[in-house]
Amino acid sequence: MRPILFKIFFLTVFIFFSGNFVLAGKDDPAILFIIPSSNFRDEELFYPMRVFKQSNWRVDVVSSATGSIKGMLGNSFDVSTLIYDVNPENYDVIVFVGGSGAMEYWDDKTAHEIAIKAASKNKILGASCIAPVILANAGVLKNVKVASWPSVKNRLKDQGALFIDENVVVDGLIVTAGKPEAAEEFGEALFILAEKEGYGVEY
């Protein structure tokens, strides 16, 4: 039996390194955007969403309410799934979108549970504008470098986060953005990190 096993082993190694065997990466990648029930910041949803859709990611958007959710700049998004029905394990990247309405999740138990589970499963977590407070209050930003809207920096520091006055900050698997003007840069940073982690990539 041993000669046969050795032949199988060497044949497998030969096929793999000859390039005839394709090892799939983390295929069918999915990203989840969590928006408030009103007054999300439009560009902080639509710019990052566009980046991932262009690369054929599955993109889902949830909120604490269903129907047409209006953004601060007047755009709307039709939401069909509630945040309470989400399993974070089904996603590779989870993003909390900013805007004044994001305050509704600052102390929301479900939002915190999603952030905690995502962090524990080594998912990529993103938050923009005032939404990093959600992650801080969930306890996943201790000793993590973060960007945010300047008015909430003390809330982050109170929870052990390390505020950095930059547009976008990447620390480990956490990506944060400080201003709506950085929305496109934020989306690109999320995508670059996802590629680095092997999501949607074939080898």
Residue extents of the structural domains in the chain: 25-196
CB-facing half-sphere around the CA of 89: CA atoms within 13 A:
2
Q: What is the pTM for the complete model shown? A: 0.86
Query: Average pLDDT in the 98-117 region?
Result: 98
Sign, CA torsion 56/61/66/70: negative
- For the chain, give the percent of residues with pLDDT over 90: 84
Q: Where are the alpha helices (DSSP H) in 24-103?
A: 42-53
pLDDT averaged over every residue in the chain:
89
Q: Is the dihedral of CA 84, 86, 92, 98 positive or negative?
A: negative
CATH number at 25-196: 3.40.50.880
pLDDT surpassing 90 at residue 2: no
